[in-house]
Amino acid sequence: MKWHILGAGAMGNLFATRLLQAGQDVSLILRQPNPEGYYQLHCLEGKARRTYTLTAQSASADEAICRLLITTKAYDTQAALASVADRLTPDATLVLLQNGMGQHQTVQQQHPSADVWGAVTTAGAWRPQPDELVCVAAGETHIGPFTAETAALPAGWTALTPAPIYVQDIQTALWRKLAINCAINPLTALHRCHNGKLVENPEFYQQMQQLCDEIETLTHSLGITLFATDLIDQAAKVAQATADNRSSMLQDICHGRPTEIEFITGYVCSQADQLGIDLPCNKALLSQVRALSAT
């Protein structure tokens, strides 16, 4: 069985190695693959170092795509899928492993016959060099169907290590990840600070508390239970556990790249608007991060 992967960042490469270890054929779709059609990836996990040979191809290759893992930035989803749309089989399996929400529904609408899955992970990895991958946390990966009720994981995923956790209600899992991202990422981008500062600085913590309170007002109206404890407790726990990390949104701002704010805080605010719920703190933060992205 073969998996194609759109999005050759840290997560795309990490799951490429996991699929290879599970006995799957894997090919990454790159903007400019090298002429040889493959590249070597040196993976460091703890003290173990392993080299993988990964095949690569361009979006315009002729090979049909039956199974596609999408790990691009949320805002790149539509363009990335459009680049390979003519290669997708009618009943292709599409797994979206990304931050944010909103893009899943768009993919469903544009590919109604596809088998669409959502996934979230707490795995951590980064790439010090293009041919290097450092795995810092194995994490947990939750995956569930968007388009059909099925208890069968996508082909090959049962053999992944660590084993993915199947959830029938992937929407709640996505909302949990989204809520944490809303509480942490935009604030770190605004204040240009590591995650831990949101807990250490009383003013930043109060802002995070206000964001969490508003998000819980929305999720309660949607009938979604995020966690057994208050969202602020979970957000603070994550911020402390990742105290030295710079969020992806902060890194995007620092490097002058687009952010995923529209699919994180923007999605939350749009859902609230549809219900007539005011989220003043989240809306203000959305405007502030938009302004940062434009500078």
Q: Which residues are catalytic?
A: 177
Contact assessment for residue 99 and residue 264, using Cβ atoms and an 8 Å cutoff? yes
Report the C-alpha gap between 47 and 31 in whole angstroms: 32
Give CA–CA dist 228/219, Å, rounded: 13
Checking DSSP bridges between strand 141-145 and strand 165-166, what pairing results, if any?
parallel
Please tell me what DSSP assigns to residue 266. H
Q: Which residues pair with 171 in a beta bridge?
A: none
Measured from the Cβ of residue 281, the count of other Cβ atoms closer than 10 Å reads 18
- Other C-beta atoms within 10 Å of 264: how many? 27
- Looking up tokens 């997708």, which residue turns up? 88
Cα–Cα distance for residue pair 191/123, rounded to 1 Å: 25
Token reading at 206 = 């109060």
C-alpha gyration radius of the chain:
19
